[in-house]
Amino acid sequence: MSDPIHPHTTIGHVHLKVANLERAVKFYTQVLGFEVQQRWGDSAAFLSAGGYHHHLGLNTWESRGGAPPARGATGLYHFAILLPNRVELARTLKRVLDHDWPIAGAADHGVSEAIYFADPDGNGIEIYRDRPRDEWPRQADGEIAMVNAPLDFDGLLAELARDGAAAEARA
């Protein structure tokens, strides 16, 4: 076996080919809440959370007016957006629901809670939050034991009410 990649390695940013830049920017800013950091005319936009140079690159360099990839073809299945905690996952879910965006699936994986949908160009997206590592389910040999259980949407959205009450109590 070769040496494993460093355990603190992360994946930096995602560049997506889109058919219509304006439509894609609208989705990623209004539905998911990212902010535009820079635009290159009508061919590319760079978006982020928190003012980072970019987490998402959207471009039409090879895809302007193009169709989504065909089912059964190779390519991106989905990319995942890790949110810092359960409240932020609930806040992002609420924004998706408020925009009547279709959800393709959701699961409690034991290690995380995840919600799946696609952007206007058919690119798969997962929004999720990880549980603390000491809460991850494990088999007797220590191997992670991920599951595919139903996600508790009501419990997740109730986090927003609890967070609002806590904020009021601090004020």
Domain with CATH 3.30.720.110 in the chain: 77-171
What is the arithmetic mean of pLDDT over 55-77?
92
Confidence band, pLDDT 50/70/90 cuts, at residue 31: very high
Domain with CATH 3.10.180.10 in the chain: 15-65
Give bridge partners of residue 40 from the DSSP assignment. 44
With both helix axes pointing from N to C terminus, report the angle between 153-170 and 86-98 in degrees, rounded to the nearest 10: 110
The answer to whether residue 170 scores a pLDDT higher than 80 is no
Q: Which CATH number is 15-65 given?
A: 3.10.180.10
Contact 68, 86 (CB under 8 A): no
- How far is the CA of 141 from the CAs of 60, 109, 119, 133, in angstroms? 48, 19, 39, 16
Q: Over the stretch 116-168, which tens digit does the pLDDT of each residue have? A: 999 999 999 999 999 999 999 999 999 999 999 999 999 999 999 887 777 77
Say yes or no: domain 77-171 is CATH 3.30.720.110.
yes
The average confidence (pLDDT) of the chain is 93
